[in-house]
Amino acid sequence: MKIAFTSTGNSWDSKIDPRFGRAEFIFIYDDETKNNDIVDNSGVSEHAHGAGPMTAQIVTEKKVDIIITGNGPGGNAARVIESSGIKVFTGAGDMTVKEAYDAYKKGNLTQS
Amino acid sequence: MKEIVVISGKGGTGKTSVTASFAYLSSANTVLADCDVDASDMHLLLKPELISSEDFFSSDLAVIDYDKCAGCGRCFEVCRFKAVSFELDKFKISDNNCEGCGYCANVCPSSAITLVKQNDGNLYISDTRLGKKLFHAELGPGAENSGKLVAKVKNNAKKYARENNLNIVLVDGSPGVGCPVISSLSGANFVVLVTEPTTSGIHDLSRVIQLVKKFHIKMGCVINKTDINYKASDGIKKMLVAENIPLLAELPYSDNFTHAMIKEVTVAEYDKGIRSMLQDAWDKINNLI
């Protein structure tokens, strides 16, 4: 299973970026292969509009199963994600990537 | 660090008067960000002294390289914005009409058209008379606010707050429910909704509540001009109860909002009664975040 975290950096100790569309990095962890795949998402911030759907497209292309973020995607991004069958968990805005993963494992994040 | 965003849905409800008053009432550990860039006016009440200014590049303009242009007119055919015209002996692109969509550049068989980033305005950092830093921006004529610009203003403010151990970022958001508003909500910890008891005020409040709920952010509501229509104000209060949103203040209609603006001060400084209501609201917000 592939889990995508919106993050402000490229390590397990990086803070979660509470934003979805304009998140700085997408930190993807595959819990079967134990591999990380880190996507620098800063290019999306250079677009004036439509950041949410662009980031949604990136996570969809990466074939992730779960997204863990802070506030959650907005309407347009949520539609893309929903139609791809990806589950979204929110409420990790103040955590590090590691803490967010642990919180998810313990069932402490909200599924939206 | 907590980020508090003030939005209204409808414009003209008193959002900026309320935000500037909160800026006045807030502790010294606060950074201010004016993200209502289409009509930024919070600075008028805070007498900012400019510390730094940075150019902001965002929109694209299609530019024809006449050394490559074969004069085929494909650009003229595909432009939806009537930005391409034929003058004397060549096709020209109007700066004013071009939306920067890139359709012409995409279809040009000679690859003669490129998109050039435009300087749309400036990002500013200022000292204010309240002793708090203000992060704001100004757009050039015809340039529009965007999620990108709001994100830049907010990120600059948040970066400054982090580096200086300041714990509150107070954001004046923009009206509506579109891209700039979504960007101002992104990453926020608390949303203050400023509304008024009018048909459009209530309609836009309900839309903005639906938007904030998507982002799972706590919110509270200030009803301004409560006494211009008690029946509609009661309707707003019922909506807030149904949505489980705390009522932070019920402000009366008062000419002192305008008098304060004329004196270039916040209404909280000008009117003691309104100050105490807004102080109470600000205390409630700080207990909720």
- The pLDDT value recorded for residue A70 is 92
Q: Which run of H or E residues covers position A39?
A: strand A35-40
Q: What percent of chain B has pLDDT over 90?
A: 84
- The pLDDT value recorded for residue B179 is 87
- The pLDDT value recorded for residue B168 is 97
CA distance A88 to chain B (A): 12
- Give Cα A92 to chain centroid, integer Å: 10
Q: What does each C-alpha distance from B262 to A33, B238, B269 come to in angstroms?
A: 65, 35, 13
Q: Could you tell me the domains of chain A?
A: 2-107 (3.30.420.130)
User: For the residues A87-95, what does the mean pLDDT come to?
Assistant: 93
SS3 per residue for B173-189: CCCCCCHHHHHHHCCCC
Q: What are the 10-residue block averages of pLDDT along chain B, 289 residues in total?
A: 95 95 96 91 93 91 96 96 93 93 96 93 95 94 84 94 96 90 91 97 96 93 97 97 97 97 96 98 96
Whether the predicted pLDDT of A48 surpasses 90? no
- Which of A45, A94, A111 to mutate: most B Cβ within 10 Å? A45
The CA distance from A29 to B45, in Å, is 48
Determine whether the interchain pair A45/B58 forms a contact, defined as Cβ–Cβ distance below 8 Å. Answer: no
- The pLDDT value recorded for residue B210 is 94
User: For the residues A7-30, what does the mean pLDDT come to?
Assistant: 94
Nearest to A78 among B188, B189, B214 (CB): B214
Nearest to B147 among A18, A49, A75 (CB): A49
User: ipTM of the assembly?
Assistant: 0.79
* Residue B152: partners with Cβ closer than 8 Å, 6 or more residues away: B56, B123, B137
* Residue B184: partners with Cβ closer than 8 Å, 6 or more residues away: B5, B7, B35, B150, B154, B171, B173, B174
Whether the predicted pLDDT of A112 surpasses 90? no
Determine whether the interchain pair A78/B179 forms a contact, defined as Cβ–Cβ distance below 8 Å. Answer: no
pLDDT tier, A29 (very low <50, low <70, confident <90, very high otherwise) = very high
Model pTM? 0.88
A87 interfaces chain B, CB cutoff of 8 Å: no
- The pLDDT value recorded for residue B24 is 97
SS3 per residue for chain B: CEEEEEECCCCCCCHHHHHHHHHHHCCCCEEEEECCHHHCCCHHHHCCEEEEEEEEEEEEEEEECCCCCCCCCHHHHHCCCCCEEEECCEEEECCCCCCCCCHHHHHCCCCCEEEEEEEEEEEEEEECCCCCEEEEEEECCCCCCCHHHHHHHHHHHHHHHHHCCCCEEEEECCCCCCHHHHHHHCCCCEEEEEECCCHHHHHHHHHHHHHHHHCCCEEEEEECCHHHCHHHHHHHHHHHHHHCCCEEEECCCCCHHHHHHHCCCCHHHHCHHHHHHHHHHHHHHHHHC
Residue where the block lists tokens 């301004």: B224
Whether the predicted pLDDT of A54 surpasses 90? yes
Q: Could you tell me the domains of chain B?
A: 2-48+128-288 (3.40.50.300), 60-119 (3.30.70.20)
Determine whether the interchain pair A75/B148 forms a contact, defined as Cβ–Cβ distance below 8 Å. Answer: no
Give the N- to C-terminal CA distance of chain B in Å, as an integer.
10
Determine whether the interchain pair B216/A91 forms a contact, defined as Cβ–Cβ distance below 8 Å. Answer: yes
Q: Are A81 and A72 in contact (CB under 8 A)?
A: no
Quick check: helix, strand or coil at residue A28? strand
Determine whether the interchain pair A72/B215 forms a contact, defined as Cβ–Cβ distance below 8 Å. Answer: yes
* Residue B133: partners with Cβ closer than 8 Å, 6 or more residues away: B31, B32, B51, B125, B126, B127, B157, B160
CA distance A35 to chain B (A): 28
